[in-house]
């Protein structure tokens, strides 16, 4: 069986929350980020990213400015544009994109090399600081953009550019003595090279990806050798003590020997994604095992309930098992996105709903939280508890912003969320020879071919707010295949009818997917009900931070309290275990969300003393919880996911 996701091109998300977000990306985010890349946003740190390409292309004069990896912002934006063009042709946007591609092509050096920092600032220093300077990382992003743009438009110009660049990299790196045995300090190119291999069928790209993965963590350590070689210079003096620890970039040991997720979280999940890709292509079981081990550790010991990963601000990194502080959480938006990438790949290695469950958890919570309702402000860091005053006053919380920012000096997250949401269609369906699989529920139409027959699937639902999903199957002609529907981990009671007849699910569920095998005719209808009562979720008590606390979840959505609804000092609120919680869809709130309401208690401040032997009085209060992803779209205030439980 070769399980393949149905491409973004063949999925029309025609409504619902994901539809709105997808549209937001198209209408607002992509134009907004184009302004950002061109330094046209008022009162924000200029990006200089397009200007860097102009200078490198000889169209402008000046110095390189911005992060050493600034090129990647342009690449990620182009990739987002490509996914949009795939589903929503837009000649003006395509023209802009083509012009950017022309510019990129013009910046490319005769030998194929392409990186504006080195072209402008240090042409003689290429490939001397792989550890710190992101050349291979930027190359990876440009390759991903090129593949997406080619797939969306059929245009090959950027694909040719990156093939020349990849060939140059292939001539530079490899096991041969006259090549460098290096690998990236920030992983990303591995998964990109697999994509390039898939679209070009050139095995050398797959082999290069494999080389980078296999070489990683060998001794003598490449980063030590190049450090000596280049005269012990550092691009990031302030971070040297951090990056010296080789777990930071997961190169402390060969990848197959890595037992737990460590170091910079985005680097980690990009690498794991690349490992899964290579395993999928080569069948390398040792990589599969490493991925499974790291997956279990990441998702069962180091993941926030929101799908956020990387709890440590220092190093934007994983901490250690069960260390998931809420108020100093890092949980970078990019890391949750990377977790989705990885989950999607694991799902295609081994069809098990646990992967789709995590993918969905990250999407609706730790990823969507990264962008404001208006698409113009972003969280880099996604805490689960915010006291704005503490973010301002406390050094150990300085990475936690209590409100989304318009742009960042290091702006990796905004274009990452744009490309993820623009490509979200790709995460919904997969097919293999005998079956079609629905991983995510969202209003959408797709078309695929099975056993030579074209089949349209029409998914109607207001998921994640509504528990009812209706799927109409429209094959060109009657055809037998299995339609497999994921039953999410949060759902304890699912009901499925086919053409009005209820199926007994227990006997047809496999790895979390209900498999309906039949001969399908035009107009066959599946009604799936994924019961969505409000759930009280508890942490494993080893996660000390959350002991005695409860989080609220409905469907895939994790909820939070905001000061706007519940007053200040949210930690003084407790939720009794026995009181009913009700839900209400509020059309006029936060672009339309379902809220959870209930009765809680708040400790009243009866006296001014700091310590007292009198227990403080509790007063009953009404509490209102909103989806976590939608927090901070009103006035600045406190936010809390994990509530104290008790009377």
Fill in the per-residue mask, 311 to 330: x = in contact with a second copy (CB under 8 A), - = not in contact.
Answer: -xxxx---xx--x----x--
Q: Does 604 bind a second copy (CB under 8 A)?
A: yes
- CA 428-417-153 angle, 5° bins: 65
Q: Does 589 bind a second copy (CB under 8 A)?
A: no
Among 394, 522, 579, 622, binds a second copy (CB under 8 A): 394
Among 286, 300, 493, 499, binds a second copy (CB under 8 A): 300
Rounded Cα gap, residues 502 and 515, in angstroms: 14
Q: Which residues are catalytic?
A: 316, 412
What tokens does 461 get?
Answer: 């639902």
Q: Which is nearer to a second copy, 174 or 512 (CB)?
A: 512
Q: Does 607 bind a second copy (CB under 8 A)?
A: yes
Fill in the per-residue mask, 138 to 177: x = in contact with a second copy (CB under 8 A), - = not in contact.
Answer: ----------------------------------------
Query: Residue 261's beta-bridge partner residues?
Result: none
In this chain, which stretch among 296-304, 344-352, 515-523, 625-633 interacts with a second copy, using CB under 8 A? 296-304
Residue where the block lists tokens 């930027």: 138
Burial of 232 (0-12, 13-18, 19+ CB in 10 A): exposed
Q: Give the DSSP H/E element, type plus range, for residue 30.
A: helix 30-37
Sort strands 11-13 and 444-450 into parallel, antiparallel or unpaired.
Answer: antiparallel
What tokens does 143 get?
Answer: 């390759």
Rounded Cα gap, residues 484 and 512, in angstroms: 9
Q: Does 603 bind a second copy (CB under 8 A)?
A: yes
- Whether 70 and 141 have beta carbons less than 8 Å apart is answered as no
Least distance CB 72 / a second copy (angstroms): 26
- Whether 47 and 414 have beta carbons less than 8 Å apart is answered as no
In this chain, which stretch among 74-82, 100-108, 193-201, 566-574 interacts with a second copy, using CB under 8 A? 566-574
Q: Does 539 bind a second copy (CB under 8 A)?
A: yes
Q: Does 7 bind a second copy (CB under 8 A)?
A: no
Fill in the per-residue mask, 485 to 504: x = in contact with a second copy (CB under 8 A), - = not in contact.
Answer: -----x-x------------
The DSSP 8-state label assigned to residue 474 in this structure reads E
In this chain, which stretch among 308-316, 410-418, 513-521, 591-599 interacts with a second copy, using CB under 8 A? 308-316
- CA 283-289-294 angle, 5° bins: 130
Least distance CB 338 / a second copy (angstroms): 19
In this chain, which stretch among 153-161, 250-258, 382-390, 477-485 interacts with a second copy, using CB under 8 A? 382-390
Q: Does 245 bind a second copy (CB under 8 A)?
A: no
Residue whose C-alpha is closest to residue 622's, from 593, 587, 592, 584: 584
Among 506, 578, 587, 615, binds a second copy (CB under 8 A): 615
Among 124, 178, 609, 619, binds a second copy (CB under 8 A): 609
Rounded Cα gap, residues 285 and 291, in angstroms: 10
Least distance CB 396 / a second copy (angstroms): 4
Rounded Cα gap, residues 363 and 354, in angstroms: 14
Q: Does 239 bind a second copy (CB under 8 A)?
A: no
Least distance CB 292 / a second copy (angstroms): 16
Q: Does 567 bind a second copy (CB under 8 A)?
A: no
What tokens does 567 get?
Answer: 């007053």
Residue whose C-alpha is closest to residue 518's, from 501, 538, 533, 536: 501
Q: Does 582 bind a second copy (CB under 8 A)?
A: no
Q: Does 390 bind a second copy (CB under 8 A)?
A: yes
Residue whose C-alpha is closest to residue 307's, from 356, 263, 352: 356
Give residues 617-646 in contact with a second copy (rule: CB under 8 A). Answer: 644, 646
Q: Which is nearer to a second copy, 216 or 549 (CB)?
A: 549
Least distance CB 242 / a second copy (angstroms): 9
Residue whose C-alpha is closest to residue 641's, from 578, 580, 571: 571
Least distance CB 55 / a second copy (angstroms): 32
Least distance CB 262 / a second copy (angstroms): 10
Least distance CB 556 / a second copy (angstroms): 13
What tokens does 103 get?
Answer: 């510019």
Q: Give the DSSP H/E element, type plus range, for residue 195.
A: helix 189-200
Q: Does 571 bind a second copy (CB under 8 A)?
A: yes
Burial of 597 (0-12, 13-18, 19+ CB in 10 A): middle
Among 122, 503, 537, 564, binds a second copy (CB under 8 A): 537
Sort strands 494-498 and 501-502 into parallel, antiparallel or unpaired.
Answer: antiparallel
Sequence-ordered list of residues with C-beta below 8 angstroms from that of 241, at least 6 positions apart, any chain: none
Give residues 349-368 in contact with a second copy (rule: CB under 8 A). Answer: none
Query: Residue 583's beta-bridge partner residues?
Result: 596
Q: Does 560 bind a second copy (CB under 8 A)?
A: no
Q: Does 432 bind a second copy (CB under 8 A)?
A: no
Q: Give the DSSP H/E element, type plus range, for residue 494.
A: strand 494-498
In this chain, which stretch among 340-348, 494-502, 504-512, 547-555 interacts with a second copy, using CB under 8 A? 547-555
Q: Which is nearer to a second copy, 188 or 467 (CB)?
A: 467
Q: Does 540 bind a second copy (CB under 8 A)?
A: yes
Q: Give the DSSP H/E element, type plus range, for residue 530.
A: strand 524-530
What tokens does 242 get?
Answer: 């951090």
- Whether 159 and 243 have beta carbons less than 8 Å apart is answered as no
- CA 271-273-279 angle, 5° bins: 105
Q: Which is nearer to a second copy, 511 or 647 (CB)?
A: 647
- The site for a second copy, by CB under 8 A, has a size of 56
Least distance CB 566 / a second copy (angstroms): 14
In this chain, which stretch among 104-112, 114-122, 532-540, 627-635 interacts with a second copy, using CB under 8 A? 532-540
Rounded Cα gap, residues 30 and 25, in angstroms: 6
Among 572, 589, 590, 621, binds a second copy (CB under 8 A): 572
478: Cα separation from own chain's centroid: 38
Exposure b/e, 74-94, CB count within 10 A at least 16 = b: bbbbbbbbbbbbbbeeeeebb
Site of interaction with a second copy (CB under 8 A)? 299-301, 303, 305, 312-315, 319-320, 323, 328, 387, 389-390, 393-396, 490, 492, 535-545, 547-548, 551, 569, 571-572, 574, 577, 603-605, 607-616, 644, 646
């Amino acid at each position: 069986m070769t399980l393949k996701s149905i491409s973004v091109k063949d999925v029309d998300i025609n409504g619902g929350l994901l539809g709105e977000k997808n549209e937001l990306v198209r209408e607002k985010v992509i134009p907004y980020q184009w302004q950002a890349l061109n330094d046209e946003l008022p009162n924000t740190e200029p990006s200089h990213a397009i200007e860097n390409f102009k200078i490198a292309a000889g169209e402008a004069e000046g110095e390189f400015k911005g992060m050493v990896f600034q090129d990647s912002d342009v690449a990620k934006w182009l990739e987002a544009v490509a996914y949009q063009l795939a589903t929503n042709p837009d000649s003006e946007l395509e023209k802009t994109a083509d012009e950017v591609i022309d510019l990129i092509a013009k910046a490319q050096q005769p030998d194929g090399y392409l990186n504006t920092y080195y072209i402008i600032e240090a042409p003689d220093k290429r490939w001397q600081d792989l550890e710190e300077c992101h050349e291979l990382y930027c190359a990876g992003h440009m390759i991903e953009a090129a593949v997406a743009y080619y797939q969306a438009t059929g245009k090959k110009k950027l694909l040719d550019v990156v093939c020349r660049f990849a060939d140059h990299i292939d001539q530079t790196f490899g096991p041969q003595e006259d090549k460098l045995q290096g690998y990236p300090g920030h992983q990303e190119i591995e998964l990109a090279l697999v994509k390039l291999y898939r679209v070009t069928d050139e095995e050398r790209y797959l082999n290069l990806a494999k080389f980078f993965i296999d070489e990683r963590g060998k001794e003598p350590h490449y980063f030590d050798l190049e450090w000596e070689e280049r005269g012990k210079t550092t691009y990031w003096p302030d971070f040297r003590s951090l990056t010296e620890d080789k777990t930071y970039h997961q190169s402390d040991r060969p990848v197959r020997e890595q037992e737990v997720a460590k170091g910079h979280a985005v680097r980690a999940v990009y690498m794991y994604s690349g490992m899964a890709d290579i395993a999928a292509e080569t069948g390398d079981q040792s990589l599969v095992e490493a991925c499974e081990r790291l997956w279990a550790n990441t998702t069962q010991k180091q993941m926030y309930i929101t799908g956020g990963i990387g709890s440590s601000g220092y190093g934007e990194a994983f901490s250690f098992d069960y260390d998931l502080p809420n108020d100093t959480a890092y949980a970078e938006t990019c890391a949750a996105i990377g977790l989705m990438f990885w989950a999607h790949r694991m799902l295609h290695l081994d069809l098990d709903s646990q992967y789709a469950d995590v993918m969905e958890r990250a999407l609706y919570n730790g990823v969507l939280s990264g962008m404001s309702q208006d698409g113009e402000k972003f969280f880099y860091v996604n805490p689960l508890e915010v006291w704005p005053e503490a973010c301002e006053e406390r050094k150990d919380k300085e990475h936690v912003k209590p409100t989304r920012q318009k742009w960042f000096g290091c702006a990796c997250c905004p274009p990452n969320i744009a490309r993820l949401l623009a490509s979200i269609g790709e995460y919904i369906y997969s097919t293999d020879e005998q079956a079609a699989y629905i991983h995510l529920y969202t209003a959408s139409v797709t078309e695929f071919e099975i056993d030579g027959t074209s089949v349209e699937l029409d998914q109607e639902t207001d998921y994640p707010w509504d528990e009812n999903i209706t799927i109409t199957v429209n094959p060109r002609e009657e055809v037998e295949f299995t339609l497999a529907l994921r039953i999410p981990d949060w759902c304890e009671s699912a009901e499925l009818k086919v053409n009005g007849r209820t199926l007994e699910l227990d006997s047809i569920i496999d790895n979390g997917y209900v498999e309906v095998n039949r001969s399908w005719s035009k107009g066959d209808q599946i009604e799936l009900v994924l019961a969505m009562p409000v759930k009280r979720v508890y942490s494993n008590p080893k996660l000390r931070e959350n002991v005695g606390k409860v989080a609220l979840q409905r469907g895939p959505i994790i909820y939070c309290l905001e000061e706007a609804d519940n007053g200040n000092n949210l930690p003084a609120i407790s939720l009794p275990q026995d009181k009913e919680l009700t839900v209400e869809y509020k059309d006029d709130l936060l672009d339309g969300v379902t809220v959870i309401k209930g009765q809680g208690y708040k400790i009243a401040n009866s006296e001014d003393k700091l310590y007292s032997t009198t227990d403080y009085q509790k007063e009953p209060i009404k509490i209102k919880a909103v989806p976590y992803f939608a927090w901070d779209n009103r006035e600045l205030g406190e936010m809390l996911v994990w509530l104290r439980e008790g009377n």
